Amino acid sequence: MDPDPGAELPMPTEPRVPDPARVTASSVVDVSPSRHLSIALLVGAVVLAACTGGGGSSPPPDGSSTTTRPAPPTSTTTTLPPVADALGTLSTAVATHDPSALDSAARVAVPGSPAAEYLGFQSAVLSVIGEQPPGRVEPAGTDSFRVCDISQSTSTCRVLSDPVFGPDGRLENFTIDGISLDGRITSDGPEVASSDVRMQAVAALQAIPSGDLVVVVEVRNLRDSAILVNAFAAVYRSPDGGRMEVRSTAGDDRAEPGDGVRFLVVVPSSPVGGLLEVPGTSDGFDDPYLVRVPVSPTP
């Protein structure tokens, strides 16, 4: 993935990743075939693109169960004037790389909208890669903001503009470098279970302009012994039937009994709306499992 996201989240110096794919803190523009996850990669994924909209969720595979969550609330108010400086508030929050600022900025976004899910995606990635240094934000014209991420002697910027407002006056959508967020992000997918291991795609984004897919997955271990998650061996089945191997991973690869952990995967050139097949096993390597995680919203 590309460090394009001007408003992106840089990778930590020593992120936690599954053993098969140790993350390095190199600052490269694209992820190399070696499958190392770099600062630039996540930065590009994080701010690069975003948004919801996408197709329906995939049915759970045989032998798995699905927990359905209520759909996010929608605005029921009449048309109101746009919230003052809503896109500026969102842009500033993104540049801080601060989860509390991102949560606070949610007040200016329509719940369940591309704008709201973009904030949620940023927070989800930070929950995996940890604390990051702040970037900067500056005006780039009328209703337009340049969000920059600074890495050593270089900075990567993206322009957030073209705000679209909902009937309640809050921010619903916007563009990054002229590309709409709509249809490129999803959140709060259905929780699926297999062999007492539960997983959910809490946030996913198809980056702009690389088209790489970043998926943040939450794992819950309902077994009475520890499990290992082999995220690096995961495979993504795209909506059009394509099959893509994971390029990079970050996060926790072990969950103790009753624990919940998170990891993320990067899939080359793939849209939201498919299935992420995640293998794993018991810590004794004698009880394997496979969970098929829908990367689409809960219906």
Q: Given a cut of 90, is residue 101 above it in pLDDT?
A: yes
For residue 299, the model assigns a pLDDT of 67
Q: What is the pLDDT of residues 191-209, one digit of tens each?
A: 999 999 999 999 999 998 7
Answer with the residue of higher pLDDT: 155 or 258.
258
Angstrom distance (rounded) from CA 167 to CA 239: 32
Examine the pLDDT at 60 and tell me if it is beyond 90. Answer: no
- Secondary structure (H, E, C), the chain: CCCCCCCCCCCCCCCCCCHHHCCCCCCCCCCCCCCCCCHHHHHHHHHHCCCCCCCCCCCCCCCCEEECCCCCCCCCCCCCCCCCCHHHHHHHHHHHCCHHHHHHHHHHECCCCHHHHHHHHHHHHHHHHCCCCCCEEEECCCCCEEEEEEECCEEEEEEEEEEEECCCCCEEEEEECCEECCCCEEECCCEEEECCEEEEEEEEEECCCCCCEEEEEEEEECCCCCEEECHHHCEEECCCCCEEECCEEEECCEECCCCEEEEEEEECCCCCCCEEEEEEEECCCCCCEEEEEECCCCC
Q: How large is the average pLDDT for residues 167-175?
A: 95
Maximal C-alpha separation, the chain: 60
Judge whether 197 and 219 are in contact, CB under 8 Å. Answer: yes
Distance between CA 74 and CA 10 in Å, rounded? 32
Segment 44-55 mean pLDDT: 34
Residue pointed to by tokens 């790489």:
212
How many structural domains compose the chain? 1
Q: What is the pLDDT of residues 126-165, one digit of tens each?
A: 999 998 899 999 999 999 999 998 876 778 899 999 999 9
Q: Is the pLDDT of residue 11 over 50?
A: no
CB half-sphere exposure, 275, CA atoms < 13 A: 16
Predicted pLDDT of residue 156: 86
Looking at the predicted structure, is the pLDDT value of residue 52 above 60?
no
pLDDT band at 166 (very low <50, low <70, confident <90, very high): very high
- pLDDT at position 152: 67
- Domain containing residue 169: 1-299
Does the pLDDT of residue 80 top 50, yes or no? yes
Chain-wide mean pLDDT for the chain?
79
Predicted confidence at residue 6, as pLDDT, reads: 41
Is the per-residue pLDDT at 264 higher than 80?
yes
CA-nearest of 49, 41, 44 to 5 is 44
What pLDDT was estimated at residue 297? 81
Model pLDDT, residue 48? 31
